[in-house]
Amino acid sequence: MRAGVLSVAFLSLGVGSVVGSAIDLALAKGHDILEAASQLIVSEPIPPSSPLLEIDESYFDVESGTKRKLCVLHPKGGEELDDDNFKAAFEHCGNGGIIRLPDANYTIGSPLTTELNNAILDVHGWISFSSDIDHWVAKRVPFEFQNLALAWIIKGTNYVLEGNGKGGIYGNGDVWYNWAKDEGNKYGRPMSFAISDSKNVVVRNWSVIQPQFWASIVIRSENVLYKNYYVNATQYNPEASGHFLNWLQNTDGCDTYKSHNVTFEDMVYQGGDDCLALKPNSSMIRARNVTCFGGTGIAFGSIGQYKGIVDYIDDVEFTDITLLPSSQHLMKNGLYFKSWMGYEIGTPPNGGGGGSGYGRDIKVDGVKMKDVIRPIYLQSDLTYLNDHRGEGHDTGLFHWSNISLSNISGTSALNRVVWLDCSKQTPCKDITFDHVKITPGKDDAPEIHYVCNNVVLGGGDGLDACHPSDSQKEGAEEVKG
């Protein structure tokens, strides 16, 4: 807590005592105030404007039918930073209580880590991240994978982030999109919120508007449900028109990493990158009723980026997925399986390779798509270094198997429909198709409609026409704009 005045209003619900008072204690620690407050018999009502953090020790929570602590936080307003009071609210009520943010904007100026146990964060307004890029980069909290960064880390067990269908995070992404245009994974650009080292988490009716980078990630966590989750990254800079594939880069909806049992239900995404992405060591991942407008689709990966490391994606069931272009961004890929080349060039985030492992037991049933450039795409020689793209063809060490794709319909934007470019070194196995009916948007290169390299298809796998080809027409680099 920073030096200054903290106002605490303490409410007691005892018989015949209505109460409430603001005690202003300069330079005091939160728990001291609480102890002091509990000794006091107070008689004046809370002044409506002064207490920024009201604490009710015995609030009756109708939902749980129990009395628990309630912290109601109000913002300082204007450009003033709310970091200190925000953290204080978690300290007071993050263990067993409810933290309520009424409809207002709360400005957070630096990366922060908070903890919730048996607690609810009830947000009716917006947790808004300041736009001081230099400060955020200088204070950057590193994330181990790809040397990326995090803005807000939430840890704990049994907690809910409730956005009430009209609140959540406002990331001030515009400034980041301008700053990072044409540079993927630019150093220091932070993810809006991370569910980290957590268990039994619900993120509900929650929005992330203008995320700075990836809107969210689940790290080393299990039993996490995102229900009614909305992400929207929109580019407002007029200079961006015509360059829209690059300007909204890295605005992923949510990624999973070293996590088990994560579910996305009733999700809507608009942006310029992965709607959902499964990074190394994601298992038991579910998605139902997810609609993605623009970007690079549903990504299985990237994976296998770290030499000598064994990664996995295991046990995935996705159903009822809709993939559409947005007014700002094409839908570049539909279902995109992406593993790195088999040897290392450069270092992460944009270089690397040589990792192994497996992606298996993946079932995607029920996808509707419109004008997707590469509807079903498996790439096994990934690198983000433009000078080295395609070099590691056929060297990939990551093993894809037992992938079932069913009930997939709609249109592609160009000639490609199915493009499975598996590695000769590590061929794909057991990929099956059932009721896959995607109409190509163009017919001037029918030889690339269905391409299958190093995967046995033809016969019992549900796709009759699929043949090897090394054509790079409409390849990863050819499609611009």
Ligand X SMILES: *[C@@H]1O[C@H](CO)[C@@H](O)[C@H](O)[C@H]1NC(C)=O
Element (DSSP H or E) covering residue 268: strand 259-270
Asked if 333 interacts with ligand X (CB under 6 A), we say no
From start to end of 305-449, where are the E strands? 310-324, 331-340, 356-382, 397-412, 418-421, 429-439
Region of 432 (left: φ > 0; alpha: ψ -120 to 50; beta: rest) is beta
Cis peptide leading into residue 111 (ω within 30°): no
Alpha-carbon torsion (143, 144, 145, 146), positive or negative: positive
In order of 53, 330, 403, 424, 445, the CA distances from 461 in angstroms are 61, 30, 11, 20, 24
Label each residue of 17-55 as H, E or C. CCCCCEEEEECCCHHHHHHHHHHCCCCCCCCCCCCCEEE
Asked if 289 interacts with ligand X (CB under 6 A), we say yes
Q: In the range 204-233, which residues lie near ligand X by CB under 6 A?
A: 204-205, 223, 225, 227-228, 232
Q: How far apart are CA 177 and CA 234, in angstroms?
A: 9
Asked if 165 interacts with ligand X (CB under 6 A), we say yes
Q: In the range 378-417, which residues lie near ligand X by CB under 6 A?
A: 402, 404, 406-407
Q: How far apart are CA 113 and CA 85, in angstroms?
A: 14
Taking the complex as a whole, how short is the minimal distance between the CB of residue 30 and ligand X, in angstroms?
26
Interface region with ligand X, contact rule CB under 6 A, candidates 12-20, 190-198, 305-313, 439-447 = 305-313
Task: Identify which of residues 167 and 375 has a Cβ nearer to ligand X in the complex.
Answer: 167
Asked if 143 interacts with ligand X (CB under 6 A), we say no
Taking the complex as a whole, how short is the minimal distance between the CB of residue 279 and ligand X, in angstroms?
8
Asked if 322 interacts with ligand X (CB under 6 A), we say no
Task: Identify which of residues 213 and 293 has a Cβ nearer to ligand X in the complex.
Answer: 293
Asked if 157 interacts with ligand X (CB under 6 A), we say no
Element (DSSP H or E) covering residue 90: helix 83-93
Number of amino acids touching ligand X (CB under 6 A): 37
State the amino acid at position 245 in one-letter form.
L
Asked if 280 interacts with ligand X (CB under 6 A), we say yes
Query: Which of 155, 199, 258, 449 is close enough to bind ligand X by CB under 6 A?
Result: 258
Asked if 283 interacts with ligand X (CB under 6 A), we say no
Query: Which of 30, 51, 125, 167 is close enough to bind ligand X by CB under 6 A?
Result: 125
Catalytic residue among 273, 274, 381, 461: 273
Asked if 131 interacts with ligand X (CB under 6 A), we say no
Asked if residue 201 lies in contact with residue 263, where contact means CB atoms within 8 angstroms, the answer is no
Asked if 31 interacts with ligand X (CB under 6 A), we say no
Asked if residue 450 lies in contact with residue 418, where contact means CB atoms within 8 angstroms, the answer is yes
Any residues with CB less than 8 A from the CB of 422 and at least 6 apart, and which? 378, 380, 396, 400, 428, 452, 453, 454, 455
Task: Identify which of residues 21 and 216 has a Cβ nearer to ligand X in the complex.
Answer: 216
Asked if 281 interacts with ligand X (CB under 6 A), we say yes
Task: Identify which of residues 227 and 389 has a Cβ nearer to ligand X in the complex.
Answer: 227
Task: Identify which of residues 291 and 350 has a Cβ nearer to ligand X in the complex.
Answer: 291
Q: How far apart are CA 133 and CA 178, in angstroms?
A: 11
Q: In the range 353-372, which residues lie near ligand X by CB under 6 A?
A: 361, 363, 365
Asked if 76 interacts with ligand X (CB under 6 A), we say no
Q: Is 273 a catalytic residue?
A: yes
Catalytic sites, residue numbers: 273
**Binding residues vs ligand X (CB under 6 A):** 103-105, 125-126, 164-165, 204-205, 223, 225, 227-228, 232, 234, 258, 261, 263, 266, 268, 270, 280-281, 289, 293, 309-311, 361, 363, 365, 402, 404, 406-407, 434-435
